[in-house]
Amino acid sequence: MRTPLYEEHVLLRARIVDFHGWDLPVWYTGIVEEHLATRRNAGLFDISHMGELFVSGPDVTASLEHVLTITVADLKRSQAKYALLLNHEGGIIDDLLVYCIDPGAMYLLCVNASNTEKDHAWLRSQLRGQVTIEDRSPQTVMLALQGPASQSIVKQVLDLDLDKIGYFHFREMVTAYGELLVSRTGYTGSDGVEIFMPAEQATALWRAFLGHGSTPCGLGARDTLRLEMGYPLHGNDIDESTTPIEAGLHFAVDMHKPFFIGKSRLEEQIRSGVDRRLVGLIMIEKGIPRGGFICRREDRTVGRVTSGSISPILHTGIALAYVDSAIGIGDEVEVMIRSQPVRARTVKPPFVAPAVRKHAGGD
Amino acid sequence: MGIPEDLKYTKDHEWGRIEGSLMRVGITDYAQSELGDVVFVELKAKGTRLKAGETFGTVESVKAVSDLYAPVSGVITETNPELEQSPELVNQDCYGAAWMIVIAMDDPSEAGRLMDAAAYARFVASEAR
């Protein structure tokens, strides 16, 4: 599959890779350059592969409370929140953002591309009462503009003052580029926006953002940027065999809710503890930990890396790994890199301080 | 994609420059562009004996890691000390400053089995397809 911006990527001589069936740019000029452009200036990402499920109807709130880990009723109009979809065993079917478009009436769930159909099917089977789910992924373009210069670029291109939109809030607006949903969110840890829009005028907006000084960035930089923040990637760091307790995603779970699917398993894990948990690893010695590499301590296997790379900011190998709960933060482990033990230390992510604006805006 | 006329090439995308009985070895422009930003180059030590096709090290980019294969048999007489500190040279000057090792060839005629520039250009075109 190709996004409506595919031809733009080809024009920019992007290196295209297959990502869960999508032909997407992995980089244009290079991962490090694009990573640093995002941290220091602004990076522009085509993330149209992400799934957009619109859920609406009179019973939507109660229904979503049943399947999501957050209290949906607490969301105010134009607020977005990170949430999880769990199976009955507490495993993570997907992680997503819930956008409250009309409280009690309509919500947008932005889900991982490769999980869209699975999520849709799960929701159809679990939602109760009068609820409609509409998958608008095919006709929706999603752009992410991330980095400290995003604010001035958005001001110039869309005449929108981002100071008026709080972190994890959004605004719907009609512009020369069509109807946009502009959200103060992102997957990089740098300040910026994510924009949902119809495909028709996406090329024009893409070019306008580039024309105002943003750098086109591929999936490669998207991955190193999120890894520096310790944000998990579904399919790598979290999946149906891992729970939010193991993955350290407590903040995305409201245990005060009377019920949500998977809750009893989480209660049990909170009560009796978990055998493993997701931690950050930072290499002490030279080497790049990669997904699947084994962690050892005193000649015993104590964990496994789920994603890893080199941090373009720290110039050091960093990773997320599940390790035995007995291993504390700050402890040393060895990552087996091509049969060689290489020393690393466990840390609590982020690896690099985030630069998102936490203050609430005017909305 | 640069493919200098005066070099020999392997199917693993190494190049070799014949300098008398020695061969200077690196990776090609195609190889560096496929890897992307190179962040580590690890080379076997001077004095290591290699058979053609054996690994003489690894090159690692942000995205991937790849073994390096000796184009010919012989002994490593030199390794490039610059690459330890400046692995990005592989992206910037793969046929020049980013040479990796020099091999004293056991049998200089072995180099005749490697591809010339025209053959390598055809090989790359078929790989890229």
Tens-digit pLDDT profile for residues A319-330: 999 999 999 999
Q: What is the mean pLDDT of residues A107-126?
A: 97
Instruction: Give me chain A's average pLDDT, please.
Output: 96
User: Quick check: B90 and B42 in contact, CB under 8 A?
Assistant: no
Q: Contacts of residue A286 in chain B, CB cutoff 8 Å?
A: 40
Q: Is the peptide bond before A312 cis (omega within 30 degrees of 0)?
A: no
Q: What is the mean pLDDT of residues A8-26?
A: 96
pLDDT score recorded for residue A360: 44
Q: Reduce the DSSP state of residue A86 to 3 states and report it.
A: strand
Closest CA to A140 of A219, A195, A62, A207: A195
CA dist., res. A63 & res. A41, Å (int): 41
User: Quick check: A111 and A196 in contact, CB under 8 A?
Assistant: no
CA dist., res. A207 & res. A8, Å (int): 9
Whether A288 sits inside 8 A of B39 (CB atoms) is yes
Count of beta carbons in the 10 Å neighbourhood of residue A359 = 7
**Closest residue, chain A, to B40 (C-alpha):** A287
> Which of the four CATH numbers 1.10.1060.10, 3.30.70.1400, 1.10.540.10, 3.30.450.260 does domain A52-135 have?
3.30.70.1400
Question: Residue B37: pLDDT band by 50, 70, 90 thresholds?
Answer: very high
Q: What is the mean pLDDT of residues A80-108?
A: 98
CA dist., res. A347 & res. A357, Å (int): 24
CA dist., res. B3 & res. B121, Å (int): 7
**Percentage of the residues of chain A whose pLDDT score is greater than 90:** 98
**Closest residue, chain A, to B41 (C-alpha):** A287
Q: What is the mean pLDDT of residues B107-129?
A: 93
Of B36, B40, B58, nearest to A220 by CB-CB distance is B36
Whether A220 sits inside 8 A of B63 (CB atoms) is yes
pLDDT score recorded for residue B127: 84
Whether A31 sits inside 8 A of B60 (CB atoms) is no
User: Quick check: A40 and A29 in contact, CB under 8 A?
Assistant: no
For testing the chain A interface, which of B33, B34, B63, B85 should be mutated: the one with the most A CBs within 10 Å? B63
**Segment B93-116, tens digit of pLDDT:** 999 999 999 999 999 999 999 999
ipTM higher than the 0.90 cut: no
Closest CA to A32 of A307, A309, A308: A309
**Segment A145-158, tens digit of pLDDT:** 999 999 999 999 99
> Which of the four CATH numbers 3.10.20.600, 3.30.1360.120, 1.20.120.450, 3.40.50.2300 does domain A1-48+137-229+275-363 have?
3.30.1360.120
Decide if A13 touches B, using CB distance below 8 A. no
Structure tokens at B115: 């591809």
Of B36, B58, B65, nearest to A27 by CB-CB distance is B36
| pTM of this structure | 0.95
Q: Contacts of residue B58 in chain A, CB cutoff 8 Å?
A: 338
For testing the chain B interface, which of A288, A337, A339 should be mutated: the one with the most B CBs within 10 Å? A288
Residues 6+ apart with CB under 8 A from B22: B77, B102, B103, B104, B105
Is the pLDDT at A307 greater than 50? The verdict is: yes
Q: What is the mean pLDDT of residues A157-186?
A: 97
Q: What ranges do the domains of chain A cover?
A: 1-48+137-229+275-363, 52-135
CA dist., res. A290 & res. A220, Å (int): 14
CA dist., res. A255 & res. A99, Å (int): 21
User: Quick check: B26 and B98 in contact, CB under 8 A?
Assistant: yes
Instruction: Give me chain B's average pLDDT, please.
Output: 96
- Long-range pairs for B54-61 at CB < 8 Å and ≥24 separation? B56/B25, B56/B100, B56/B101, B57/B100, B57/B101, B58/A338, B59/B27, B59/B35, B59/B87, B59/B90, B60/A288, B61/B35, B61/B36, B61/B37
Whether A338 sits inside 8 A of B91 (CB atoms) is no
Whether A32 sits inside 8 A of B63 (CB atoms) is no
Q: Contacts of residue A33 in chain B, CB cutoff 8 Å?
A: 37
Is the pLDDT at A363 greater than 50? The verdict is: no
pLDDT score recorded for residue A30: 96
Using a 10 angstrom Cβ sphere, with 0-12 exposed, 13-18 middle and 19 or more buried, the burial of residue B128 is exposed
- For tokens 């105002």, what's the residue? A212
For testing the chain B interface, which of A16, A26, A28, A31 should be mutated: the one with the most B CBs within 10 Å? A31
Q: What is the mean pLDDT of residues A230-255?
A: 98
CA of A302 vs chain B CAs: smallest distance (Å): 24
Question: Residue A358: pLDDT band by 50, 70, 90 thresholds?
Answer: low
For testing the chain A interface, which of B62, B67, B83 should be mutated: the one with the most A CBs within 10 Å? B62
Count of beta carbons in the 10 Å neighbourhood of residue A344 = 29
Whether B62 sits inside 8 A of A31 (CB atoms) is yes
Is the pLDDT at A357 greater than 60? The verdict is: yes
Decide if A317 touches B, using CB distance below 8 A. no
Question: Residue A226: pLDDT band by 50, 70, 90 thresholds?
Answer: very high
Closest CA to A119 of A130, A128, A109: A109
Is the pLDDT at B128 greater than 90? The verdict is: no
Domains and CATH numbers, chain B: 8-110 (2.40.50.100)
Decide if A218 touches B, using CB distance below 8 A. no
pLDDT score recorded for residue A362: 38
pLDDT score recorded for residue A361: 41
Q: Contacts of residue B65 in chain A, CB cutoff 8 Å?
A: 288, 290, 338
pLDDT score recorded for residue B129: 65
Count of beta carbons in the 10 Å neighbourhood of residue A56 = 18
Whether B62 sits inside 8 A of A312 (CB atoms) is yes
Chain B interface residues (partner A, CB cutoff 8 A) = 36-37, 39-40, 58, 60, 62-63, 65, 91
Whether A15 sits inside 8 A of B36 (CB atoms) is yes
**Segment B56-101, tens digit of pLDDT:** 999 999 999 999 999 999 999 999 999 999 999 999 999 999 999 9
- Long-range pairs for A25-29 at CB < 8 Å and ≥24 separation? A25/A216, A25/A218, A25/A219, A26/A218, A26/A219, A26/A220, A26/B36, A26/B63, A27/A217, A27/A218, A27/A219, A27/A220, A27/A221, A27/B36, A28/A215, A28/A216, A28/A217, A28/A218
Is the pLDDT at A186 greater than 60? The verdict is: yes
Q: What is the mean pLDDT of residues A312-323?
A: 97
